[in-house]
Amino acid sequence: MSATFQWYESNGAGETGTADRTETNWKSIDDSTTAYSSAPIVDGTNSFDKWQYGKFSGTFNQILNGLWAHTAVAFGTGLTLKASPTMTVDADRLAYATPSATTNATLTYNATSAIAIGSGKAVWFGATGPASSGKAASMTTNPCYTNYLTTQLQTSGASANDTAEVTLSLRYDEN
Amino acid sequence: MQQPRLSYLFEARFKDGTTYFQPPTDVSQEHPLTRSSFYDVVQRLSEVDVFTLRGCGRVHSVHLADGHFVTDDQIIHSPHGQLTNYRLIYFRRMQVSVGGQHKRPEMIAYFIGWQANQPDTGKNFQMMLEISADGASIIRK
């Protein structure tokens, strides 16, 4: 068996975390329930920023070497995916902010192009939640959490209808 | 999410001749609710002599006395000359893909190897054997 991994999404002013998220769709609403088709993004505006993270529990000795990237399928013209920065020091982690459609200037990593996961941004791990201090490149505390893997889809001159279905990947090592 | 099964299980042979076998459940004997079996090995890390992965009809070992590997009966020596203080490296590489529908974590590869130091300078060296899910192995220096 391996460590138990769960995707979480935080929403609302209260940073309410929902476990076991099964999709990542950028929408014009801050929730994890509304169908994306019911909350389209108007060209020239942004999606609400999406605050997702991973939680590790179950049985493990250590989680380490985290990487995150947009790994497959190109976005169409006029679409830009911005993401939280790569982790090089603990202070690079993002503090939670209530999701909104305002351009999030803290999302400094441009993830529009698909790249190999080995070239992805570094993800760190912490013992008390995605925004908490104490993030490190490896973690033995159980449970532990990634830093926030926040994204926002920004549009300018985009075509109508659904985007291509892109793939985002999180890679990590465990033992 | 459902956890992937382990296609390779490890054995850690210690300098005193005893061997620890990873159970298929990968649960620590000491802390079965929170720790994997490698935690038990970590408690005796400096005593590990040979660390072996077995699975898919293949056998891959790292020998920590001098840093050589044996992979499917082929011996691979360290190119770094005489080093000291060999420390075991072992981990599994996992990947989760998300999009319109999230997928469960997949096991991409297993890694075994070591870190060691040059006796006079203390310079750190590392050498690992990567065993991919399809059984292919490659040295990573």
Measured in whole angstroms, the distance separating CA B132 from the mean position of its chain's CA atoms is 12
Amino acid at B9: L
- pLDDT of A40 reads 96
B4 domain residue, yes or no: no
Closest CA in chain A for residue B110: A173
B81 domain residue, yes or no: yes
Residue B53, strand partner residues: B10, B60
Q: Find where tokens 């659904």 sit.
A: A162
Q: Is A15 exposed, middle or buried (0-12, 13-18, 19+ CB in 10 A)?
A: middle
Confidence of residue B141 (pLDDT cuts 50, 70, 90): confident
- pLDDT of B98 reads 84
Amino acid at A175: N
Pair B103, B110: CB distance under 8 Å: no
Q: If residue B41 lies in a helix (H) or strand (E), which one and from where to where?
A: helix B38-42
B1 domain residue, yes or no: no
Residue B83 structural domain: 9-140
Q: Does B2 touch chain A (CB under 8 A)?
A: no
C-alpha dist (Å) from residue A163 to A114, A160, B2, B99: 14, 8, 29, 12
Report d(CA A6, CA A13) in Å as an integer. 22
- pLDDT of B18 reads 98
Q: Is B17 exposed, middle or buried (0-12, 13-18, 19+ CB in 10 A)?
A: exposed
- Cβ contacts of B108 within 8 Å, gap of 6 or more: A171, B93, B94, B95, B132, B133
Closest CA in chain A for residue B98: A168
Q: Does B93 touch chain A (CB under 8 A)?
A: yes
pLDDT tens per residue across span A28-53: 999 988 999 999 999 999 999 999 99
Q: Does A18 touch chain B (CB under 8 A)?
A: no
> What mean pLDDT value characterizes chain A?
95
Share of chain A above pLDDT 70, in %: 100
Confidence of residue B1 (pLDDT cuts 50, 70, 90): low
pLDDT tens per residue across span B12-47: 999 999 999 999 999 999 999 999 999 999 999 999
The domain total for chain B is: 1
B32 domain residue, yes or no: yes
Report, as an integer, the average pLDDT of B74-94.
95
Interface test with B, best of A22, A26, A61 (most B CBs within 10 A): A61
B126 domain residue, yes or no: yes
pTM, two decimals, is: 0.94
Between A109 and B137, the more confident residue is A109
DSSP letters for A22-91: ------SSS-SSS-GGGSPPPTTSBPPPBEEEEEEESS-S-EEEEEEEEEE----TTEEEEEPPPPSSGG
Contact B94 A64 (CB under 8 A): no
Amino acid at B75: I
**Domain range annotation of chain A:** 42-174
CA A105-A109-A41 angle, to 5 degrees, is 65
pLDDT tens per residue across span A81-130: 999 999 999 999 999 999 999 999 999 999 999 999 999 999 999 999 99
Q: Would you call the peptide bond into A143 cis, given omega within 30 degrees of 0 as the criterion?
A: yes
B96 domain residue, yes or no: yes
Q: How many alpha carbons lie under 13 Å from residue B50 in its C-beta half-sphere?
A: 16
Pair A140, A28: CB distance under 8 Å: no
